[in-house]
Structure 1
Amino acid sequence: MSVSVVVRPDAGWSLSLYPSAGEAGGSFVYLYRPARVWVPGTPAADPERARAEAARRARAKVRRYCTAHRLNRLGTLTYASACHDPMQVRADVAGFFRSLRALLGGRALPYVWVPEWHKSGHGLHVHFAVGQFIGRSKIEAAWGRGFVHIKRLSDLPVGSTSLHEARRAAGYLSKYVTKAFADTEAERSLGLHRYEVAQGFQPPVVRLTGRSSREVLYQAVERMGGALPAISWSSADAEDWQGPPAVWFAWD
């Protein structure tokens, strides 16, 4: 790891707003900060922290993707015969979604899927989320390698919307993503993504800058039609926070 100093003329707060996902996150950007250059093939200075940070970023991407497209239906694909080959699983799942799309008329659809190792040693199975009703018979026909399960996450408090359902689905998938970063079995798949999404559906992002966190929040509120966020978080309230000051907001 080599370190140099980068001079930034845009010191201040930077906030990334994802309107379709109803959330925003950002931090203070210092005028002077170290530029860390990772050298391929060398370990991170703090592997555990690097892994935790990578898992956090992955969870955030899954959450935003699920929420932006209201992916509120969770499914599971299980092999009739154990499969321990991560590359084979990826090929099979890619074929599954191609077949599913054809059965649904050929139109592309957003989805997220995460592999998980069975505790019983049965190999890998797959968890996925979609945002529309799909008949079980179509899912079975598209998979054709074992067993399937699908359900809509509707067991939420009265007044909950598809956005809340999608956030719940993202929460479940995020647990599997976190497990993939910690699971020793996943080490065999080094270099493979811990999750996959349908391409072409990344939620749009709006970059906001300002001199204070309040200023960028005001800009975000304006972009969100004047609605204040339902949830606000600040690193100032986290005793063990390491890094520049940061904030996160979510709208209902």
Structure 2
Amino acid sequence: MVRRYCAHNRLNRLGTLTYRGAGCHDPFQLRRDVAQFFRTLRDLLGGQAFAYVWVPEWHTTDHGQHVHFAVGRFIARRSIERAWGHGFVHIKLLGHLPSGSTPRDEARVAARYLSKYVHKAFDARRVPGLHRYEVAQGFQPERVRLSGRSVEDVMAQAAEAMGAEPVEVWTSDEAIGWEGPPAVWAMWS
């Protein structure tokens, strides 16, 4: 979901929000602070809603949590600092991609980066019921349904819709002892 949301909304700028001092160890407080951050940022940018995604991460040290986020437009660092107010900020446009790369290609890099944090295990620090990521409401991509007479037909349609061949494909035929209906999973970079 994070990958699709980032690519759909061309979220090609990555940022980090870090607390000063002892940090934040309360996952509920972190979520309140981040919600307020995006409300304040929206106000500072003229009140217009914009797409974003954010993912919390625990520091490897005892500094608590910080937040990684992606947006799809230029936002001045001073605006981010003003909206955050809890410590340090970092933001960068994803560059250094091959010549001819598009904002969608950049967004896919952001999506891969954020997805690794979504998949990180929070172990004992994870609070059941809290989402591992959050997105701005109203920017979800529409579901695309494909149908065809064969797996190959549907995969060709998917590759055309995605603008590229998948980088990885798994089929239930590969799973020894698979007892469910035939299944295919594909991933695009």
TM-score (norm 2): 0.88
Question: In structure 2, what is the equivalent of residue 229 of structure 1?
Answer: 164
Q: Does 2:13 align with 1:64?
A: no
CA distance in 1, matches of 2:118, 2:148: 33
Deviation at 1:231, TM superposition (A): 2.7
Deviation at 1:207, TM superposition (A): 1.2
Distance 1:237 1:192, change over 3 A: closer
SS in 2 for 1:163: helix
Question: In structure 2, what is the equivalent of residue 138 of structure 1?
Answer: 79
CA distance in 2, matches of 1:198, 1:137: 21
Q: Does 2:135 align with 1:194?
A: no
Deviation at 1:234, TM superposition (A): 3.2
Q: Does 2:17 align with 1:88?
A: no
SS in 2 for 1:119: coil
Deviation at 1:210, TM superposition (A): 2.8
Q: Does 2:122 align with 1:183?
A: yes
SS in 1 for 2:131: coil
> Over alpha carbons, which structure has the higher Rg?
1
Question: In structure 2, what is the equivalent of residue 115 of structure 1?
Answer: 56
Matching residue's letter, 1:165: E
Kindly report which structure 2 residues correspond to 1:40-51, keeping only aligned pairs within 5 A, or say none.
none
Deviation at 1:158, TM superposition (A): 1.6
SS in 2 for 1:206: coil
CA distance in 2, matches of 1:203, 1:209: 19
Distance 1:198 1:231, change over 3 A: same
Across the aligned residues of Structure 1 and Structure 2, the Cα RMSD in angstroms comes to 2.3
Deviation at 1:160, TM superposition (A): 1.2
Matching residue's letter, 2:119: T
> More strand per residue: 1 or 2?
1
Residue identity (%): 59
SS in 1 for 2:147: strand
**Alignment match of 1:167 (pick from 99, 103, 108):** 108
Matching residue's letter, 1:73: R
Deviation at 1:96, TM superposition (A): 0.2
CA distance in 2, matches of 1:204, 1:165: 21
Question: In structure 2, what is the equivalent of residue 34 of structure 1?
Answer: none
Unpaired runs of 5+ in structure 2?
A: none
Distance 1:202 1:228, change over 3 A: closer
The ranges of structure 1 where at least 4 consecutive aligned residues each deviate by more than 4 angstroms after the TM superposition are: 218-222, 236-243
CA distance in 2, matches of 1:238, 1:77: 44
SS in 2 for 1:165: helix
Deviation at 1:80, TM superposition (A): 1.0
Instruction: Count residues in correspondence.
Output: 185
Distance 1:238 1:85, change over 3 A: farther
Per-residue CA deviation, residues 59-91 of structure 1 (Å, 9 max, x unaligned), is xx0000000011010000011131100000000
Equivalent pair of 2:159/2:165 in contact (CA under 8 Å): no
Matching residue's letter, 2:35: A
CA distance in 2, matches of 1:178, 1:194: 8
Distance 1:186 1:194, change over 3 A: farther
